[in-house]
Chain A
């Protein structure tokens, strides 16, 4: 009961955030938190619920981001029109990668996803259609409202919030459905799950397809908002790492874990970037690395597990 009221308060706080603060910097941070929450929640479907730790989700993020700006540079369409194309491309790539790698267990799977992601990054960084190493630019000035190019971060905030709500609602439904139990069984162990009659490969693939599709949408939204992408900012290994860290810090395999992780990490990242300028990237990732190292060492369940153990203890103490 207390958890539910906390969720409602948190939701209204996040929904009202850009109206509560007037500084554009903080409004922008709010939108970026939601974007990170979308991508990490998408990762969470596969990495958290199904326990298949992908370190290559930048491929799907990049597919969405590139699809959006390629439809603009090649066809003069509004960038958001590239989002469905990005989703299709991502689902195709995920089927291509997923079919061989899902037979792999544990670390092999993680390493295969890194190799696949790096492979795509190198190809994109050397292909003229994708702007090679220079990257691609979105529309410099909005032509119509469909370009979704706003100066204020507020429209992005509500756009991202609605996507996040859809994704979390879907995740919640999956969690309560047969698929949720199947994924939990798979996370517990492939062999045990399949001996109980869970169609392991099929459900891993379903989780991956959904996960890839929403990661791709996050990539498209990123490209639409920022209006500029290059191989490192859309496809770099650090993108994959960021999704993983955000989800794991909050609590992998929990509904609100990725959102909590994003609320903690993104303001931290934006503040270090603002304080240290361009050199901040290095410091941000030292901090990121230290955080996941400490989470792994002391609290592998993330903030969610910490919260659960704290509330359980206080409940036990109550008369």
Chain B
């Protein structure tokens, strides 16, 4: 029964991983640029939710969309101010650019909010459910279900709408898209906005049940990389499956081996998969 409980909590955490990893996979698939600051975006959203509650007394109904809007804006600014200029440069410049951004965000948070952990009150979202012997906190349930719904919605937007088609057109062939009257620059800015907005929602959701610290983004970035590599570039369904899988594997290894080793298992799995399939589990090329 405990094992089942562990799996369920892994599934819920995994769908949040899937949500912010979908944002990374969108950016990556579209521009072939990796955002090394992706996890730090999630960290910023967690702090945004925390301060929205403690300083402005706003509830989750306001701060979840609020964090999404804020991060959308940040994503667009980062694209216009930095990524647009480094995307065509040498690979070292691409890595340094977003890595530098990650350091600036991480240590600015460290400096402004100190290294102390903070958290939202447990009682913010309901208590604990008992589903046939499995106890689930309402906050985790909300986070898991909402993350799943939004990830699926993102997939629908990308596959079923005119905006999605335009984004896809730019990622497939920038020049052909331009001839069709699509502005690649604007589409890529939107992709960065959507990608960052996904970290906004995910961060606000994680903040409901998890402690917040300036360096939490480091391991979240790595998790997003692992999920994207396993799920394949630009594939939201791939990220969904891989995200949930990683969530469950992490929860199981924390329970069976010990919480300090949960990341070791995930990283080892990642390296193992790269060993067998250097282009990612579902990747081509």
Q: Which of A104, A110, A122, A293 has the most CB of B within 10 A?
A: A293
Given contacts A100-B278, A108-B229, contact A285 B107 (CB under 8 A): yes
Q: Looking at the complex, which one of A110, A114, A122, A289 makes contact with B100 (CB distance below 8 Å)?
A: A289
Out of B89, B101, B106, B263, which one reaches A118, CB within 8 Å?
Answer: B263
| Residues from 71 to 97 in B contacting A, C-beta threshold 8 Å | 82, 85-86, 89-97
Q: Do B108 and A241 have beta carbons less than 8 Å apart?
A: no
Residues of B close to A47: CB separation below 8 A: 92
From A62-70, A147-155, A295-303, give the one contacting chain B: A295-303
Residues of A within 8 A of B225 (CB): 111, 114-115
Q: In the assembled complex, which residues on chain B have CB atoms less than 8 Å from the CB atom of A304?
A: none
Q: How far is the CA of A102 from the CA of B241 in the complex (A)?
A: 27
> Is the beta-carbon distance between A116 and B267 smaller than 8 angstroms?
yes
Within 8 A of A (CB), among B101-122: 101-108, 110-111
Q: Does chain B have a CB within 8 A of A292?
A: yes
B137 within 8 A of A: no
Closest to B115 in A: A282
Known: A116-B267, A289-B104, A296-B96. A107 touches B34 (CB 8 A): yes
- The answer to whether the Cβ of B53 comes within 8 Å of any Cβ in the partner chain is no
CB <8 Å contact, B93 and A300? yes
B42-50, B145-153, B194-202, B268-276: which lies at the interface: B268-276
A55-B95, A289-B101 are known contacts. Are A283 and B107 too (CB-CB below 8 A)? yes
Check: A37 CB closer than 8 A to any chain B CB.
no
Q: How far is the CB of B183 from chain A (nearest CB, A)?
A: 22
**Residue of A105, A290, A295, A296 touching B94 (CB-CB under 8 A):** A296
Distance, CA A296 to CA B95, complexed state (A)? 8
Q: Within the complex, which residue of B107, B108, B274 is in contact with A112, where a contact is CB–CB below 8 Å?
A: B274
Contact B96 A244 (CB under 8 A): yes
Contact B226 A115 (CB under 8 A): yes
Is residue A106 contacting chain B, with contact meaning CB distance below 8 A?
yes
Cβ-defined partner of A296 (8 Å) among B97, B263, B268: B97
A162 at the binding interface (Cβ < 8 Å): no
Neighbouring A residues of B279 by C-beta, 8 Å: 108
Known: A55-B95, A107-B95, A283-B107. A296 touches B86 (CB 8 A): yes
User: Do A297 and B82 touch across chains, with their CB atoms under 8 A apart?
Assistant: yes
Say whether B271 contacts A116, CB under 8 Å. yes
Which DSSP category, helix, strand, loop or mixed, fits chain B's interface? helix
B103:A119 contact, CB within 8 angstroms: no
Residue A53 is within 8 A (CB to CB) of chain B in the complex: yes
Contact in complex: A118, B267 (CB < 8 Å): yes
Say yes or no for A136: interface residue by CB 8 A criterion: no
A53 contacts B92, C-beta separation under 8 Å: yes
CB contacts (< 8 Å) of A38 on chain B: these are none
B93: A residues at CB distance < 8 A = 295-297, 300
CA distance A294 to B86 in the complex (A): 10
What's the A-B contact tally at a CB cutoff of 8 Å?
138
Does B264 reach chain A (CB closer than 8 Å)? yes
Contact A296 B218 (CB under 8 A): no
Closest CB of chain A to B169's CB: distance in Å? 23
- CA distance in complex: A241, B106 (Å): 14
The reply to whether B271 and A119 form a contact with Cβ atoms under 8 Å apart is: yes
Q: Please tell me if B222 contacts chain A, counting CB pairs below 8 Å.
A: yes
Q: How far is the CB of A305 from chain B (nearest CB, A)?
A: 11
**Per a CB cutoff under 8 Å, which of A122, A283, A293 touches B263?**
A122
What's the minimum C-beta distance from A257 to chain B, rounded to whole angstroms? 12
| CB-based contact B108/A286 at 8 Å | yes
Give the Cβ gap from A40 to chain B, nearest Cβ, in Å. Answer: 14
Residue of B nearest to A300 (CB): B93
B260 at the interface (CB under 8 A from A): yes
B255 contacts partner chain A, Cβ-Cβ < 8 Å: no
Q: Kindly state whether residue A311 has any CB partner on chain B within 8 Å.
A: no
- Residues of B contacting A300 with CB < 8 Å? 86, 89-90, 92-93, 96
Contact status B260-A104, CB under 8 Å: no
Q: Is the pair A101, B103 in contact by a Cβ cutoff of 8 Å?
A: no
Q: How far is the CB of B246 from chain A (nearest CB, A)?
A: 13
Interchain CB contact under 8 A, A104 and B96: no
User: Once the chains are docked, how many angstroms separate the CA of A241 from the CA of B95?
Assistant: 11
- List residues 34-73 of chain B with CB under 8 A from any CB of chain A: 34
| Chain B CB within 8 A of A266 CB | no
A79 at the interface (CB under 8 A from B): no
Contact A100 B103 (CB under 8 A): no
Q: Which residues of A contact B97 (CB under 8 A)?
A: 292-293, 296-297
Interface digits, B225-264 against A, CB 8 Å rule (1 contact, 0 not)? 1100100000000000000000000000000000011011
Residues of chain B contacted by A252 (CB below 8 angstroms): 92
Instruction: Assess the B95–A51 pair: CB atoms within 8 A.
Output: no
Closest 5 CB pairs of A and B: A289-B103, A293-B100, A296-B97, A300-B93, A100-B275
Task: List 8 contacting pairs A-B, 8 Å CB cutoff, sorted by A.
Answer: A110-B34, A114-B225, A115-B267, A116-B267, A116-B271, A125-B260, A295-B93, A296-B92
Instruction: Please list the residues of chain B having a beta carbon within 8 angstroms of any beta carbon in chain A.
Output: 34, 82, 85-86, 89-97, 99-108, 110-111, 218-219, 222, 225-226, 229, 260-261, 263-264, 267-268, 270-271, 274-275, 278-280
